[in-house]
A and B are shown apart, each in its own frame.
Chain A
């Protein structure tokens, strides 16, 4: 478990952010240090949210690498999964009871960043200047699949 995840302080900062918002301000513009701390909690929580879905990501990538789906179908499914996890944080922050008991597994550290890198590779494949072939794209996903194993 992660001892740095102080839910009491996290909730206090969320409440401060909420009060500032009602006055037309934001923690981002009013207090850099507190904003950084709040962001740090959010990133920790986000890591855990994506980590909770690690088997889904693994299953999807494995399916793509075993030729069970096209590259486009893979990217589309990956974007969908990524969006679902990205949007899970806000409802958890609104449910303070749930947030106060949320457990963080230290193995989840940086998992969201890892998944974001795959997302960014997928996004880049649509770039007009992209010189990555489909074969190279699949190769990079294969490499990520191998790197992913440390999270299991």
Chain B
């Protein structure tokens, strides 16, 4: 996780987590910040209070969501 945060390719992106799921079933999305690395496709999402909410290596579709919509899931 430390390597990901310190990697110069990792970008800080203000966005959301769960906007697609909100559209699907009404579960509220969370506003926060992605620490996303387009090279490794790894993403960490920090919600309110900068608390780590989730993080994983995204697949191509998920990385597109972050890069274009600034949203994951």
Seen from chain A, the residues whose Cβ lies within 8 Å of a Cβ on chain B are 26, 28, 39, 42-43, 45-46, 82-83, 85-86, 89, 112-113, 116-117, 120-121, 123-124, 127, 132, 140
Which residues, 2 to 55 on B, are CB-close (under 8 Å) to A? 9, 18, 20-21, 24-25, 27, 38-39, 53-54
Kindly state the separation between the CA atoms of A117 and B73 in the bound complex, as whole angstroms.
7
A116 CB contact (under 8 Å) in B27, B53, B61: B61
28 of the cross-chain contacts (CB-CB < 8 Å) are A26-B9, A26-B38, A26-B39, A28-B38, A28-B67, A39-B67, A42-B60, A43-B61, A43-B64, A46-B59, A46-B60, A46-B61, A83-B57, A85-B59, A89-B59, A89-B60, A112-B61, A113-B61, A116-B59, A117-B21, A120-B18, A120-B20, A120-B21, A123-B56, A123-B73, A124-B18, A124-B73, A132-B27
Contact between A86 and B57, CB atoms less than 8 A apart: yes
Complex interface: chain B residues within 8 A of A26 (CB) = 9, 38-39
The smallest beta-carbon distance between B23 and chain A, in angstroms, is: 11
Complex Cα spacing A121 to B20, Å = 11
Asked if A116 meets B54 with Cβ closer than 8 Å, knowing A28-B38, A124-B27, A124-B73, the reply is no
Q: Which of A28, A83, A116 is the one whose CB lies under 8 Å from B62?
A: A116
| Interface residue count on the B side (C-beta < 8 Å) | 21
Q: Which of B21, B39, B63 contacts A124 (CB 8 A)?
A: B21
Contacts of A28 in B (CB 8 A): 38, 67
State how many angstroms separate the Cβ of B73 from the closest Cβ of chain A.
Answer: 4
Q: Identify the closest chain A residue to B54 (Cβ).
A: A123
The winner among A26, A45, A117, A123 for most chain B CB atoms within 10 A is A123
Whether the Cβ atoms of B60 and A39 lie closer than 8 Å is yes
Q: Within 8 Å CB of A140, what residues of B?
A: 25
